[in-house]
Structure 1
Amino acid sequence: MSPTQQLLSDKRVGVIGAGAAGLATAKELIHEGHKVTVFEQAMQVGGLWVYNPEVDSDFLGVEPHRKRVHSSTYASLRTNLPREVMSFIDFPFLTQQGRDERCYPSHKEVALYLENFAKEFDLLHVIQFGTLVEHVELVTMDSTGEKQWKVITTRKIDGVVDEVKEELFDAVVVCSGHYFEPKIANIPGINNWPGKQMHSHNYRLAEPFTNQCVVIIGTQPSGMDISRDVANVAKEVHLSGRNWNSSIDFTKPMGRHQNIWPHSTVIKTYEDGTVKFKEGSSTIADVIMHCTGYRYYYPFLDTKGLVTAANIVKPVYQHVFPPSLAPSLSFVGLLHKVLPFPLFQFQAKWIAMVLSSKVKLPPTSEMTESIKAFYDQCEASSKPMHQWHDLGDIEFEYLDWLADQSGSEHLESWRSKMKNIAFQHLFNNPDTYQDQWPDEDLHQEALICLQQLEITR
């Protein structure tokens, strides 16, 4: 590539968010020679892994003008995957003496790992901390006919607005995550129910639930995790879900404290505090906690309706590029139930190389057809829309495809084995899975691989 061609391929790129996705994206964009600015509303890197004791002013998370807190991390949170399998592809997540050395470490350990990643790859100087992205809009075409984006940001110091800035970028990558805009269950009679409601986004500590009867809606990892945490102090925990194993016995308690009672879905609540479940049982509860997931929410992003976000973000080619706005707009990290850090890095490599013109996207029409075929397949299989960013069994096939786009090596085979075992281990041993790993040979294989990478990188 000639110097002139190199100059034309270098882009000024705005990255929204300095969590794991934003850091991976900044690293890969810089590696490709792009001029990067990362906007982060917090005062440190780490995104959702940074614990913040503050919560939204509305515990349920439905008041549109509430004071919002980005992080959903609670004090006792640990990873639900072993640290080795979470590692970035070129930055091993190994134990460090004097820190949390557990296989399933705490949120604090993950945040430190991400801070080390940012320092290792010299990313801190491109991050504007304490900066909230207020508006992102496609506004002009530059002299070469390329799209440009206006980004308006507000910087605050000690809660006071210090600067409002407007900048133009050749491309914007949205890396702000999707675990902060609560989605709640629709419960008949809830408007007259006298107890307290909240969403897991605003859960931090178990102590406020001491001696209370708590109904937790949702049996995904956060619901299971929080129910065990609350059970340490609560009188009773009633865990309500739609997708229990067929062998579940709704008449017997579960968990080491024997005070967690499984139930089917909540079908009605009453003015006397009663919560009734589909299988026929009921309880008088003090609290209903919605561990019911999140909506995709990007209030700053104005695409004139070309991209929408709620249960999913659509349309996006391969969960990354909106066809009509590609490659100038992209998303990293829309998928869930995946190996997050390697996924972010592979997506970021692809984006960076497309922006460098080293990799070409298919024509807009072809990307649109691919998306339509995918949506048709989801509908034909009766897959709920909120699961369309869930890859299921094809996760590692997708990761291999991403690796091929950037000419990268595929993930090591031990990663898929370790992830599959980890989720089976969680399912079989929900109370103890974070404290013991069932396959030491596989653990040693992963350690040796990562230690060798640490030596050679």
Structure 2
Amino acid sequence: MERRIRTRVAVIGGGPAGLCAARHILSRPEAFDPPVVYEMTDHLGGTWFYEERVGTYDDGYPIHSSMYRDLRTNLPKEIMMFPDFPFDDRLPSFLHHTSVQQYLEKYCEKHDIARHIKFNTVVEKVKPVSMETETGGAVTWEIISRSTRGDQNTQTFDSVFVCNGHYSDPHLPYIPGIEHFKGKVLHSHSYRCPEPFANKSVVVLGAKASGVDISIELAQVNAQVILSHNTPPMSLPPLGIRQARAVVGVSEDGSLQFQDGSVTQADILLFCTGYNFNFPFLCPSELGLDVQDLFVTPLYKYLLPPGFPSVFFIGICKTICPFIHFDCQVKFALAVLEGSVKLPSPEEMKKEVQREMQRKQDTGVQLKHFLNLDKDQWDYYLDLARMGRFTPPQPVFESLYEEVRRQRQKDPQKYRQINYRLIDATQWELLEAPPEQTD
């Protein structure tokens, strides 16, 4: 009997999504060759690797990580984990970023991933190459990469997993008259710690996770903070943080104008306005994709371009339990490559994407929020698991996710003091005392 040819997969990025892809590919040696993981830095961990510097690396590439010094997770470790690799029980539920980095290093070690990572290697170009075969045209992928020493390399693969993350290219919405602002303008991507902002007046734009967290950090060093956002007023700790509507412009004298007509002067304007999608190694139109700052379409199941079902964009959705999300997406993608998922025709996949977009538009979701899954993530995982024939995430994850959301809304400063424990597939409990802290 002739040996079945194994599928060669390239993985772009050595952060959590890339490590997850590598781990599952390595677990199926009968179907897949060991992956080649391309990582532009000299370390794994992606955005979880804390880098004190901001701006660019010595080789001129932009600093990837957006991690700040005191960041702690806003999801407990019980639902942060990869389902098959729990965190150390002795750690508190809400972790300092260094614990997550250590966890990823242990995950990498357990599954012997590091030797498959090409560190200090930038992917310059990914292009589909058509191969005429007896069974019709199949697409392979040519990857041109360059090491930081300058050596160029070209390799060919059957499939590509795009895992380069989306927390490294700051999104800066345009504000009319911004050139008149006399203070300092920066994005949370370049924020590391609050001390340089002590006793300064800071307007923080955006009240998602980082906007609220950073505002609280700044207020604790006596910065005068105005948190400017479009959402209803939030319950914030009594730290003197003012809330204001969106900034709509800057006057010629440098003062900021808010939507309600009020005006203020500020030393610093800090954008906590999210990140752009950026795939510098791809030509999106070649794949039939429209890539905008905050949106990518059409991707069937938020994963693959209908015309090219062997390239997978892992983890581009937002407001999710990230590691669980990557795990489900990777398992589904591998089921597609193995042939156990029969995909609809490209036309039918496109139509399904359009129907999903229409459904979101009809419920008033703005285009820039189309990739926010939040409560929809659980049905999405069930759908992927049903099609890919793998076990879906346990119901306890959804239940704990909703509980943490309630606690976060109630007290955005203190919710991280609570500790949880999973009892079984459907139940969790509160722990009375925080578990022992470990180094």
Cα deviations by residue, 1:264-288 (Å, 9 ceiling, x for unpaired):
1112223433222223433210000
Cα deviations by residue, 1:314-336 (Å, 9 ceiling, x for unpaired):
1100001101011x211110111
Shift of 1:234: 3.9
Give yes or no for the alignment of 1:314 onto 2:264.
no
3-state DSSP of counterpart to 1:325? coil
Cα deviations by residue, 1:50-83 (Å, 9 ceiling, x for unpaired):
10112126xxxxxxxx851111111111100000
Query: What's 2:86 paired with?
Result: 92
Cα deviations by residue, 1:271-317 (Å, 9 ceiling, x for unpaired):
43322222343321000011011111101112426122222111100
Give yes or no for the alignment of 1:42 onto 2:60.
no
CA distance in 1, matches of 2:383, 2:140: 29
CA distance in 2, matches of 1:439, 1:90: 16
Which one-letter code corresponds to 1:207 in the other structure?
E
CA contact (8 A) 2:131 2:138 kept: yes
Distance 1:373 1:151, change over 3 A: same
Which one-letter code corresponds to 1:29 in the other structure?
I
Give yes or no for the alignment of 1:154 onto 2:146.
yes
Aligned residue-pair number: 422
Shift of 1:3: 5.1
2:322 to 340, 344, 358: 340
Give yes or no for the alignment of 1:79 onto 2:73.
yes
Moved more, 369-378 or 277-286: 277-286
Shift of 1:438: 8.1
Distance 1:291 1:276, change over 3 A: same
3-state DSSP of counterpart to 1:296? coil
Query: What's 1:425 paired with?
Result: 407
Query: What's 2:25 paired with?
Result: 29
Query: What's 1:231 paired with?
Result: 219
CA contact (8 A) 2:396 2:422 kept: no
Give yes or no for the alignment of 1:415 onto 2:397.
yes
CA distance in 2, matches of 1:316, 1:357: 19
CA distance in 2, matches of 1:361, 1:444: 32
Normalising by structure 1, what TM-score?
A: 0.87
CA distance in 1, matches of 2:356, 2:120: 39
CA contact (8 A) 1:425 1:438 kept: no
3-state DSSP of counterpart to 1:104? coil
CA distance in 2, matches of 1:279, 1:175: 41
CA contact (8 A) 1:150 1:168 kept: yes
Give yes or no for the alignment of 1:377 onto 2:359.
yes
Which one-letter code corresponds to 1:47 in the other structure?
G
Shift of 1:92: 0.8
Distance 1:280 1:154, change over 3 A: same
Query: What's 1:63 paired with?
Result: none
Distance 1:293 1:193, change over 3 A: same
CA contact (8 A) 2:229 2:244 kept: yes
CA contact (8 A) 1:194 1:271 kept: no
Query: What's 2:265 paired with?
Result: 284
CA distance in 2, matches of 1:165, 1:143: 26
CA distance in 2, matches of 1:148, 1:329: 10
CA distance in 2, matches of 1:447, 1:198: 41
CA contact (8 A) 1:418 1:442 kept: no
3-state DSSP of counterpart to 1:180? coil
CA distance in 1, matches of 2:19, 2:341: 22
CA contact (8 A) 1:273 1:286 kept: no
Query: What's 2:118 paired with?
Result: 128
Distance 1:46 1:67, change over 3 A: closer
CA contact (8 A) 1:138 1:302 kept: no
Give yes or no for the alignment of 1:207 onto 2:195.
yes
CA contact (8 A) 1:183 1:293 kept: yes
2:345 to 363, 367, 370: 363
Moved more, 302-311 or 18-27: 302-311
Normalising by structure 2, what TM-score?
A: 0.90
Query: What's 2:130 paired with?
Result: 140
Cα deviations by residue, 1:376-395 (Å, 9 ceiling, x for unpaired):
22233331111111223321
3-state DSSP of counterpart to 1:338? coil
CA distance in 1, matches of 2:80, 2:383: 19
Shift of 1:207: 1.5
Runs (4 or more) in structure 1 with deviation over 6 Å come to 438-444
Cα deviations by residue, 1:21-62 (Å, 9 ceiling, x for unpaired):
1111111122233121000112221111110112126xxxxx
1:102 to 66, 79, 92: 92
Which one-letter code corresponds to 1:266 in the other structure?
V
Moved more, 179-188 or 270-279: 270-279
CA distance in 2, matches of 1:135, 1:187: 34
Query: What's 1:455 paired with?
Result: none
Distance 1:182 1:38, change over 3 A: same
CA distance in 1, matches of 2:223, 2:75: 30
Query: What's 1:352 paired with?
Result: 334
CA contact (8 A) 2:247 2:258 kept: yes
CA distance in 2, matches of 1:3, 1:352: 22
Query: What's 1:323 paired with?
Result: 306
CA contact (8 A) 2:314 2:330 kept: yes
Unaligned runs of 5+ in 1: 58-65, 249-253, 449-457
Query: What's 2:248 paired with?
Result: 267
CA distance in 1, matches of 2:290, 2:67: 27
CA distance in 2, matches of 1:390, 1:334: 9
CA distance in 1, matches of 2:426, 2:363: 39
CA distance in 2, matches of 1:392, 1:77: 21
Cα deviations by residue, 1:161-192 (Å, 9 ceiling, x for unpaired):
24211111111110111111111132222111
1:168 to 156, 162, 171: 156
3-state DSSP of counterpart to 2:164? coil
Query: What's 1:19 paired with?
Result: 15
